[in-house]
Amino acid sequence: MAYTDNYERDTYGIIAFWLRNDYDHGRFFDREISHYETELARANLNNIQRLGKVWEKAEKKQGDIGTLLIEAQHATSEFHSLLAYTMDKSLHCDVIIATPVSLIDHMVRESEESSRVYKLIESGTKISPSDAIIHECVFWLRQMADHLGYILHYSDVSNYDVNFQVMQMMQKFERLYLQAVALQTMIRTPRKETLPILTQFKNVIIKEAKSLEAFKLEIDELIKTCAIATTSPPDLLEHIAREAHHLWRNLEEDRIT
């Protein structure tokens, strides 16, 4: 589990997590842009380079947090614009890419979440444990269900049994997502205390996210050793396992940033 060894959770580490996330998205997207779309490919490559440079600074803990946050915000918002623009073109059937619209939307939402996190760090806003749990669950459970959908998207049709298992897991995470949305509206703001119903839900999600992380790492091993038929980018599973890891770690610590 290479990523857990060098995944730091101090402020630099959290900024690095999000920058790396966008950087990976750019690299994954790069594989799926048709050679007819030279302008898009070039713009995306520029974003990858820029995000990569800022990510490196965060990894090496170079410079002060304030400057790093400004650079991270700029690089992220530029990448966000490119993705949102391409998503709109895709909805108009006006771009040749192999990336499904929902997957672009998934990346757009993560880039928006990264901006929110940068702003929270910058302002030093304190979030109550209940608000943090609800936010993390509502945001990430949809992403977790999506991840299973994208494993299916890339997995060869001939993997009948694996695909069936993945579909079942996806449906479980869709139900958990709906439960998170229900708790979000049932437990009204301001949320000063953490109700037992929320603590119970949190504990279930920590357990489910841990087993999802392990499952993704099992598939990761198969993909990296070329032991399963798939068109997935080689390090996609490691990327989404890292996100499951981030979710349960945040839940264990009742935090967003």
Nearest CB to Fe ion, comparing residues 28 and 201: 28
Closest CA to 83 of 52, 108, 53: 108
Least distance from Fe ion to the Cβ atom of residue 6, Å? 18
**Residue span binding Fe ion (CB under 5 A) among the ranges 53-61, 122-130, 136-144, 177-185:** 136-144
Site for Fe ion in 152-211 (CB under 5 A): none
Q: Under a CB-based contact definition with an 8 Å cutoff, are residues 216 and 237 in contact?
A: yes
Site for Fe ion in 90-129 (CB under 5 A): 110
76 binds Fe ion per the rule CB under 5 A: no
Nearest CB to Fe ion, comparing residues 140 and 198: 140
Closest CA to 205 of 109, 257, 141, 139: 141
Least distance from Fe ion to the Cβ atom of residue 194, Å? 26
What is the dihedral sign for C-alpha 160, 155, 139, 108? negative
21 binds Fe ion per the rule CB under 5 A: yes
Least distance from Fe ion to the Cβ atom of residue 48, Å? 14
Nearest CB to Fe ion, comparing residues 16 and 198: 16
Site for Fe ion in 225-254 (CB under 5 A): 243
Nearest CB to Fe ion, comparing residues 103 and 198: 103
Closest CA to 26 of 61, 54, 59: 54
Least distance from Fe ion to the Cβ atom of residue 197, Å? 27
Contact with Fe ion (CB under 5 A) among 143, 155, 232, 250: 143
Nearest CB to Fe ion, comparing residues 23 and 194: 23
Nearest CB to Fe ion, comparing residues 143 and 250: 143
What span, in angstroms and rounded, lies between the C-alpha atoms of 42 and 30?
Answer: 9
The number of residues in the chain equals 257
Chain contacts with Fe ion (rule: CB under 5 A)? 21, 110, 143, 243
